[in-house]
């Protein structure tokens, strides 16, 4: 296939789609499937077949449309009319949609979700621009929306240096959490000497409550593959690996299919688009370890070894897979590549803030009216995300904090709601952007309990290689457990704080170094809650049942002294 | 090989390029506590006892896996480092059941020595008291998980020196365990050559000779040097007294 064939293919597919009077787009992403999306798609198909509308109405299983808590969702595209979105669609409602809306032209009002609400209007979709609009299992759908034209352009019109320079100029930073400038990393790998080079897409997303990478891989797998191929061209690699978390079978399956489809059409493999560039991609499936998101552990896992990190330097850009220079990017980072090449670095740099360019996908979860996947420009305030896009706190609650960055991140309290969301601002507040999990908490959440939850996660996911992380996380969890069950003393809090700093400063890899962050950030803003648990034996949010209060047969004076932590206790003990 | 100059504890010193910071500190006679490091085996950087402060880096670096660099400014014994080393030892003692009084290695144990040297005289963290088995299925040796600190010296010596790769690590986090072959009793392992190298390099009482009683077990690491010098330098004979 060459560039002209690609354009022909896009045109043929566009004409085919325009041949349908109406298209019904059903979300087939994991959240919608788990709330009954398959039955809805089947009901739509059956109803269309029953009414013999097959020739003029098409049902398409697409990727995520965003408002996951309102799923299953279905979009109706009728020619000449604006799109309409239905929420909470049941098989029954699906049949009504066909009968009333598709055939009759009259929308089914009770399931309608307006598209002009802030949830949609405040978003800016760059990476997810195809998500929810194309069938992820069909290459033609992607090509019809301009897919692989960025790769074709880069191969024909640009040198590898120019591709790297374009990415540097765009200001794109790593979306995996650390925010390292992507273009600089590409340039490092391009310049690194090595007989072979590799490109790795990190799709091992382990943060609790986060599913940005899964959605991108499920909804638009070709976007990631195209980004990888452009990266491979830019750095001089001929082999790529996409490392998918083991818990994401649908993403792995769709990626496999996408790779085969692209290889058949000459968009991957040898002599891509009739150029001299060869690039193969293989899928590697992780066995479900959070630490394998860390780049050195991920590479060990790809090479078939135990997924444990090794100290850096040398960085993967110098010595990566099998000792060769290796480029590792998060899949969301790679999802930005094709739009940057297509629209240019200046267009991309025009979105976002001065130091954080472009958009960021967040998985909005917790106590907000609409949870789901959102893509917003960098620099949007937390208030806009929570109250405009998320629709505010349900059931009359008040906003207490937002947890960003998962177990490596921290909590941002209400007084910082107007902080712009970018790498630097979040770091200044003691949290991080992370890969994009955003959990909203209301006044019924206990911050000590939240810290304990994340510490339990880190304790379970520590790989066990270095002592501070392996034992430190367990001891921190143990101390937090004591605080939440009412058996802690003020001395325990001091021990906890000291341990947090030590684990942060001495651990081998990012997992251990960031494991204490949820504790430290909650201590920073909600210390009074910790103290209420310890000194007053009560949980201000009413979450923890402090039933482990030790019954001490001591005189009241001594008990009070012990609770206050006033040094040694002297006197008669009865 | 070119030479680099760096500052260690306010003194200017020179080192060979590519040398690890730890080996330089040993040459200089600066005592750095280590547990997972053993000369002759690959470095792991896991015990974190050999951490040093390097100016310009906001992280502490494990000296065993950090190569020397021109102009590096290193501090090896700050108050912060000493405090962290003691805390790491406390964590190790809290993790499993290190009861020195009834241990066959009492008095010859590297973990115990480090605790004495660093002045770690009590543990402030909750003891985890895991319920761990003892594998006494081998006819000559015993594996006691209660004393294991997961330094993986046994894994590395068996893989890198003996070439049998009997040992490996199972599980993760605090649930990691040293296993023989595919987690089977050591005595039934087909790959074990019963050479005893793992027993000799183990810093604690986790791997011991069968039948020794409390405080009897002593370990010899010297064999690593004989083997590696023989293999790499074809130097098989040591002057009397050096063995």
Complex ipTM value: 0.94
For B173, the closest of A310, A470, A495 (CB atoms) is A470
CATH code for the domain in which residue A486 is found: 1.20.1440.230
A211 and A229 both lie in a single domain: yes
Q: Quick: pLDDT tens for A354-411.
A: 999 999 999 999 999 999 999 999 999 999 999 999 999 998 889 999 999 888 899 9
The answer to whether the Cβ–Cβ distance between A468 and B48 falls below 8 Å is yes
Mean pLDDT, residues A264-274? 94
The answer to whether the Cβ–Cβ distance between A462 and B92 falls below 8 Å is no
How far B185 CA sits from the closest chain A CA (Å)? 21
Residue A49: inside a domain, yes or no?
Answer: yes
The answer to whether the Cβ–Cβ distance between B46 and A467 falls below 8 Å is yes
Residues of chain A positioned with their CB less than 8 A from the CB of B169: 306, 464
Mean pLDDT, residues A38-65? 92
CB A468 within 8 A of CB A507: yes
How many whole angstroms separate alpha carbon A167 and alpha carbon A361?
A: 19
Q: Which of A89-98, A516-525, B210-219, B230-239 has the lowest mean pLDDT?
A: B230-239
pLDDT of residue B97: 95
Residues of chain A positioned with their CB less than 8 A from the CB of B168: 306
pLDDT of residue B239: 58
Residues of chain A positioned with their CB less than 8 A from the CB of B171: 464
Which of A314, A348, A382 is at the close of a domain? A348
Mean pLDDT, residues A535-557? 77
Fold (topology level) of B93-232 = Alpha-Beta Plaits (3.30.70)
Mean pLDDT, residues A170-189? 92
CATH code for the domain in which residue A155 is found: 3.40.50.11540
Work out the mean pLDDT of chain B and round it to a whole number. Answer: 93
- How do the residues of chain B divide into helix, strand and coil, expressed in percent and rounded to 5? 30, 15, 50
A342 and A371 both lie in a single domain: no
A244 and A372 both lie in a single domain: no
pLDDT bin (cut points 50, 70, 90) of residue A555 is low
Residues of chain A positioned with their CB less than 8 A from the CB of B45: 310-311, 466, 508
For A468, the closest of B91, B124, B125 (CB atoms) is B91
How far A310 CA sits from the closest chain B CA (Å)? 8
To test the contact with chain A by mutation, choose from B174, B183, B204 the residue with the greatest count of A C-beta atoms within 10 A, namely B174
Mean pLDDT, residues B133-154? 96
pLDDT of residue A105: 83
Number of inter-chain CB pairs under 8 A, A vs B: 94
Which of A322, A348, A374 is at the close of a domain? A348
pLDDT at residue B241 tops 90: no
CB A292 within 8 A of CB A301: yes
How far B48 CA sits from the closest chain A CA (Å)? 7
A48 and A192 both lie in a single domain: no
How many whole angstroms separate alpha carbon B86 and alpha carbon B82?
A: 6
CB A128 within 8 A of CB A219: yes
How many whole angstroms separate alpha carbon A504 and alpha carbon A518?
A: 12
* Closest residue in A to B124 (Cα–Cα): A495
* Domain assignment of residue A506, given as a range: 451-565
CB A382 within 8 A of CB A418: yes
Q: Quick: pLDDT tens for A1-29.
A: 888 999 999 999 999 999 999 999 999 99
Beta strand A84-86 with A74-78 is antiparallel
Q: Measuring CA to CA, which residue among A126, A150, A302 is closest to residue A220?
A: A126
* Closest residue in B to A290 (Cα–Cα): B172
Beta strand A198-203 with A112-113 is unpaired
pLDDT at residue B196 tops 50: yes
A190 and A339 both lie in a single domain: yes
CATH code for the domain in which residue A7 is found: 3.40.30.10
pLDDT at residue A561 tops 80: no
**What are B's interface residues with A at a Cβ cutoff of 8 A?**
44-48, 51, 59-62, 65-66, 83-84, 87-88, 91-92, 94-95, 124-126, 128, 149-150, 168-169, 171-176
Residue A132: inside a domain, yes or no?
Answer: no
The answer to whether the Cβ–Cβ distance between B60 and A505 falls below 8 Å is yes
For A506, the closest of B51, B65, B128 (CB atoms) is B51
pLDDT bin (cut points 50, 70, 90) of residue A549 is low
pLDDT at residue A271 tops 50: yes
Residues of chain B positioned with their CB less than 8 A from the CB of A513: 59
A110 and A164 both lie in a single domain: no
A414 and A466 both lie in a single domain: no
Whole-model pTM: value is 0.91
pLDDT of residue A79: 86
Q: Measuring CA to CA, which residue among B108, B186, B93 is closest to residue B144?
A: B186
Residue A91: inside a domain, yes or no?
Answer: yes
Q: How many domains does chain A have?
A: 4
Work out the mean pLDDT of chain A and round it to a whole number. Answer: 91
pLDDT at residue A351 tops 80: yes
How many whole angstroms separate alpha carbon A4 and alpha carbon A152?
A: 10
pLDDT of residue A434: 83
A184 and A298 both lie in a single domain: yes
Q: Quick: pLDDT tens for B72-97.
A: 999 999 999 999 999 999 999 999 99
A113 and A10 both lie in a single domain: yes
**What are A's interface residues with B at a Cβ cutoff of 8 A?**
289, 291, 306, 310-311, 459-468, 470-475, 478-479, 482, 495, 498-499, 502, 505-508, 513
A163 and A307 both lie in a single domain: yes
| Domains of chain B, residue spans | 3-77, 93-232
Mean pLDDT, residues A535-546? 89
pLDDT bin (cut points 50, 70, 90) of residue A546 is confident
How many whole angstroms separate alpha carbon A220 and alpha carbon A229?
A: 15
What is the CATH number that goes with domain B3-77?
Answer: 3.10.20.740
Residues of chain A positioned with their CB less than 8 A from the CB of B149: 467
Residues of chain A positioned with their CB less than 8 A from the CB of B46: 465-467, 508
Q: Helix (H) and strand (E) counts for chain B?
A: 6, 10
Q: What angle do CA A218, A219, A223 make, to 5 degrees?
A: 100
pLDDT at residue A288 tops 90: no
Q: Over pLDDT 90: what percentage of chain A?
A: 80
């Amino acid at each position: 296939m060459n560039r002209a064939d690609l354009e022909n293919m896009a045109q043929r597919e566009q004409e085919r789609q325009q041949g349908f009077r109406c298209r019904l787009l059903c979300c087939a992403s994991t959240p919608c499937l788990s709330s009954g999306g398959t039955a809805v798609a089947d009901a739509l198909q059956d109803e269309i077949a029953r009414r013999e509308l097959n020739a003029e109405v098409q049902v398409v299983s697409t990727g995520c449309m965003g408002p996951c808590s309102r799923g299953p969702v279905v979009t109706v595209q009728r020619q000449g009319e604006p799109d309409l979105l239905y929420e909470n669609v049941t098989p029954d409602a699906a049949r009504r949609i066909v009968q009333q809306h598709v055939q009759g032209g009259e929308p089914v009002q009770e399931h309608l979700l307006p598209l002009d609400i802030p949830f949609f209007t405040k978003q800016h979709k760059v990476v997810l621009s195809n998500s929810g609009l194309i069938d992820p299992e069909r290459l033609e759908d992607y090509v019809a929306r301009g897919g692989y034209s960025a790769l074709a352009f880069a191969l024909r019109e640009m040198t590898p240096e120019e591709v790297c320079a374009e990415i540097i100029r765009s200001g794109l930073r790593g979306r995996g959490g650390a925010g390292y400038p992507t273009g600089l990393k590409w340039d490092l790998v391009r310049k690194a000497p090595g007989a072979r080079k590799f490109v790795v897409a990190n799709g091992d997303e382990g943060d609790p409550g986060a599913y940005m990478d899964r959605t991108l891989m499920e909804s638009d797998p070709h976007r990631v593959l195209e980004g990888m191929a452009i990266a491979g061209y830019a750095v001089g690699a001929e082999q790529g690996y996409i490392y998918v978390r083991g818990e994401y079978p649908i993403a792995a399956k769709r990626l496999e299919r996408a790779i085969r489809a692209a290889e058949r059409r000459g968009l991957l493999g040898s002599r891509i688009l009739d150029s001299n560039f060869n690039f193969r991609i293989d899928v590697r499936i992780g066995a479900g370890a959070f630490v394998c998101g860390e780049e050195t552990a991920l590479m060990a896992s790809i090479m078939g070894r135990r997924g444990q990190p090794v100290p850096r330097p040398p960085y993967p850009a110098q010595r990566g897979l099998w000792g060769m220079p290796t480029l590792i990017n998060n899949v969301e980072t790679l999802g930005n590549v094709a739009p940057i090449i297509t629209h240019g670095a200046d267009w991309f740099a025009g979105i976002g803030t001065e130091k954080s360019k472009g958009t960021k996908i967040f998985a909005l979860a917790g106590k907000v009216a609409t949870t789901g996947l959102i893509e917003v420009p960098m620099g949007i305030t937390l208030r806009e995300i929570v109250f405009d896009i998320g629709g505010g706190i349900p059931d009359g609650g008040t906003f207490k904090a937002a947890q960003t960055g998962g177990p490596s991140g921290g909590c941002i309290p209400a007084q910082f709601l107007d902080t712009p969301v970018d790498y630097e601002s979040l770091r200044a507040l003691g949290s991080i952007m992370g890969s994009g999990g955003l959990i909203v908490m209301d006044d019924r959440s206990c911050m000590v309990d939240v810290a304990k939850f994340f510490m339990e996660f880190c304790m379970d996911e520590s790989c066990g290689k270095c002592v501070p992380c392996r034992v430190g996380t367990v001891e921190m969890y143990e101390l937090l457990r004591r605080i939440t069950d009412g058996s802690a003393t003020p001395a325990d809090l001091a021990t906890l704080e000291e341990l947090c700093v030590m684990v942060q400063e001495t651990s081998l890899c990012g997992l251990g170094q960031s494991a204490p962050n949820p504790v430290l950030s909650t201590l920073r803003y909600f210390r009074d809650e910790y103290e209420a648990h310890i000194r007053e034996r009560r949980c201000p949010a009413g979450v923890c049942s402090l039933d482990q209060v030790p019954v001490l047969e001591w005189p009241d004076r001594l008990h009070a002294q012990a609770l206050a932590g006033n040094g040694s206790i002297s006197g008669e003990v009865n | 090989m070119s030479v680099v100059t760096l500052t260690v504890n306010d003194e200017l010193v020179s080192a060979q390029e590519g040398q690890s910071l730890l080996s330089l500190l040993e040459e200089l006679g600066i005592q750095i506590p280590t547990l997972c490091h053993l000369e002759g085996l690959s470095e792991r950087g896991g015990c974190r006892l050999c951490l040093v402060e390097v100016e310009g880096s906001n992280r502490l670096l494990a000296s065993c896996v950090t190569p020397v660099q021109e102009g590096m400014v290193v501090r090896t014994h700050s108050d912060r480092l000493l405090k962290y080393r003691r805390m790491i030892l406390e964590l190790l003692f809290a993790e499993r059941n290190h009861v020195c009084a009834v241990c066959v290695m009492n008095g010859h144990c590297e973990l115990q020595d480090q605790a004495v040297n660093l002045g770690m005289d009590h543990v402030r963290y909750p003891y985890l008291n895991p319920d761990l088995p003892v594998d006494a299925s081998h006819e000559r040796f015993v594996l006691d998980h209660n004393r294991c600190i997961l330094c993986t010296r046994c894994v590395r010596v068996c893989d890198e020196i003996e070439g049998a790769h009997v040992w490996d690590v199972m599980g993760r986090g605090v649930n990691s365990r040293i296993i023989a072959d595919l987690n089977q009793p050591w005595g039934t392992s087909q790959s074990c050559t019963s050479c005893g190298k793992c027993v000799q390099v183990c810093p604690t009482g986790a791997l011991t000779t069968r039948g020794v009683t409390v405080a009897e077990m002593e370990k010899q690491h010297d064999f690593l040097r004989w083997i590696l010098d023989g293999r790499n330098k074809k130097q098989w004979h040591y002057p009397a007294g050096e063995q």
